[in-house]
Amino acid sequence: MKQKKFLLNENEIPTQWYNIQADMPNKPLPPLHPVTRQPLTWEDLAHIFPTECCKQELNTTDRWIDIPEEVLDKYKFYRSTPLVRAYELEKALGTPAHIYFKNESTNPLGSHKVNSALPQCYYAKQEGTTNVTTETGAGQWGAALSYAASVFGLEAAVYQVKISMQQKPYRSSIMRTFGATVEGSPSMSTRAGKDIITKNPMHMGSLGTAISEAVELAMTTPGCKYTLGSVLNHVALHQSIIGLEAEKQMEKAGEYPDMVIACFGGGSNFGGVAFPFMRHNILDGKKTEFIAAEPESCPKLTRGKFEYDFGDEAGLTPLLPMYTLGHDFRPANIHAGGLRYHGAGMIVSQLIKDGMMRGVDIPQLETFEAGILFARTEGIIPAPESSHAIAATIREALKCKETGEEKVILFNLSGHGLIDMTAYDQYINGDLVNYQVTDDDIAKNHIGV
Ligand SMILES: *Cc1c(COP(=O)(O)O)cnc(C)c1O
């Protein structure tokens, strides 16, 4: 009988995270202080983030970083996650490719985000913080953070993008169930939110507005730290648990990936699954290809500019060197598939510049078509975000069908879609369309100051 699923024993779960910054041929350019324009120190960041996270953020020398015992204990609630061979999807496509997926949807929060929420809350608690705050788009990060905050005895305040709150009401219910306070962003509870509403009363929110509000709350509230679910280097570090497990599991399957594919919002699940394999390209001469799949309606990897830009709409965050569409870019409201952030993480931006990976943009309808094929073959309804990775995988598997190549493709299933059924309904009812951003749309946004 063919083995479908590969798991690790508890004692095989990795006990260290992998820090690709130590191995990068060209390190990311330094983030800059928004006012002085000088390279940031970890002390600058420690005003808003937990100290340990700030040190990890700027750590370009230590390849391995120990996972705290308390975090490992919580990881074991749901890790290892399965590595699965997608035989039925292969059959439906008629491809000779071997398709594997790492299933990060199996934890109760439903996405990979909890892998970083746990250490961020743990470090915050360690240094005496009482409250954490954050923004959330579709709500997976807010849900993961709310859970992790309750695990480590912290109060959580979450700003959720208004449009997503309407599209995905159950995610706010999950956050509240774990004891968090949830506000739609832009809200009237912060200066940044009020300013945005004054300028544009119909503003339906963006990750940029929600970040501005959460950062403001952290800066003005004693004992409150800000946390971020993507984009930053320490988040990708925590997510490396995905790829490190997958590496051991692929070994059990007796294969090594020719391609690693993940969807791309800010880069954390991509970095998580890809970087541990990329280290073998850098150190051992492997030739694995790495593909990050983004929506056609928010194409920072394929059509953005590499520039210093703010991480948020109000311009409160440090300036980050990244591929960006401009910090006031907002994807069209018709876009239902998540991955709405305007910029890419610093590490990934440098790796793209250095030709070590590439981005691909996927039209909305192709994304949902891929998600539905995956649901009908493998029995899992994927998060619309994850469906971008599935669509990119299908494209590559169909290329293999033409060439007859038996490539081994690994993709990350970053989450399940059971709370995104409104988007599936819209697709099935024929209410979704493709939306390609025009060059004018891109040109009218502001990059940097
Ligand atoms: C948040 C999220 C993403 C996008 O974020 P990345 O940091 O790019 O991984 C993708 N998939 C799911 C299920 C998510 O919750």
pLDDT in tens, 15-32: 999 999 999 999 999 999
Quote the percentage of the chain above a pLDDT of 90: 87
- Which two three-digit tokens encode residue 251? 């070994």
Say if residue 338's pLDDT is above 80: no
| Distance (Å) from CA 403 to ligand 1 centroid | 32
Mean per-residue pLDDT for 53-58? 97
Say if residue 401's pLDDT is above 80: yes
- Which two three-digit tokens encode residue 386? 């994850």
Say if residue 93's pLDDT is above 90: yes
| Distance (Å) from CA 268 to ligand 1 centroid | 7
Q: Give the separation between CA 449 and CA 443, rounded to whole angstroms.
A: 15
For 135-149, 158-172, 352-366, 435-449, which range has the lowest pLDDT when averaged over its residues?
435-449
| Distance (Å) from CA 102 to ligand 1 centroid | 14
Pocket of ligand 1 (CB under 6 A): 111, 113, 140-141, 230, 263-270, 339, 383, 385-386, 414-415
The protein residue whose alpha carbon is closest to atom 8 in ligand 1 is 265
Q: Give the separation between CA 24 and CA 232, rounded to whole angstroms.
A: 16
Say if residue 448's pLDDT is above 80: no
Mean per-residue pLDDT for 199-203? 94
| Distance (Å) from CA 198 to ligand 1 centroid | 31
Global confidence as pTM: 0.96
Mean per-residue pLDDT for 261-280? 98
| Distance (Å) from CA 423 to ligand 1 centroid | 16
| Distance (Å) from CA 11 to ligand 1 centroid | 28
Which residue's entry shows tokens 């070590």?
356
Q: Ligand 1: which of 158, 238, 268 to mutate, most ligand atoms within 8 Å of CB?
A: 268
Q: Give the separation between CA 297 and CA 299, rounded to whole angstroms.
A: 6
| Distance (Å) from CA 217 to ligand 1 centroid | 24
Q: Ligand 1: which of 106, 111, 381 to mutate, most ligand atoms within 8 Å of CB?
A: 111
- Asked if residue 188 lies in contact with residue 194, where contact means CB atoms within 8 angstroms, the answer is yes
CA 424, chain centre distance (Å): 21
Say if residue 332's pLDDT is above 80: no
Residue 441 binned pLDDT confidence (cut-offs 50, 70, 90): confident
CA 194, chain centre distance (Å): 28
Q: End-to-end CA distance of the chain: give it in Å, rounded.
A: 60
Residue 330 binned pLDDT confidence (cut-offs 50, 70, 90): confident
Q: Give the separation between CA 432 and CA 30, rounded to whole angstroms.
A: 40
Backbone angles phi, psi at 438, to 5 degrees: -85, 165
Residue 99 binned pLDDT confidence (cut-offs 50, 70, 90): very high
- Asked if residue 322 lies in contact with residue 447, where contact means CB atoms within 8 angstroms, the answer is no
Q: Give the separation between CA 374 and CA 379, rounded to whole angstroms.
A: 7
Residue 335 binned pLDDT confidence (cut-offs 50, 70, 90): confident
| Nearest atom, ligand 1, residue 339 CA | 4
Among candidate residues 292, 248, 244, 240, the one with its CA nearest the CA of residue 59: 240
Say if residue 131's pLDDT is above 80: yes
Among candidate residues 23, 120, 25, the one with its CA nearest the CA of residue 64: 23
The protein residue whose alpha carbon is closest to atom 5 in ligand 1 is 265
Q: Ligand 1: which of 147, 230, 261 to mutate, most ligand atoms within 8 Å of CB?
A: 230
Mean pLDDT, all residues of the chain: 95
The protein residue whose alpha carbon is closest to atom 7 in ligand 1 is 268
pLDDT tens for each residue of 287-320 = 999 999 999 999 999 999 999 999 887 888 899 9
Class of domain 70-110+232-443: alpha beta
Cα–Cα distance list, 257 to 40, 101, 397 (Å): 37, 11, 13
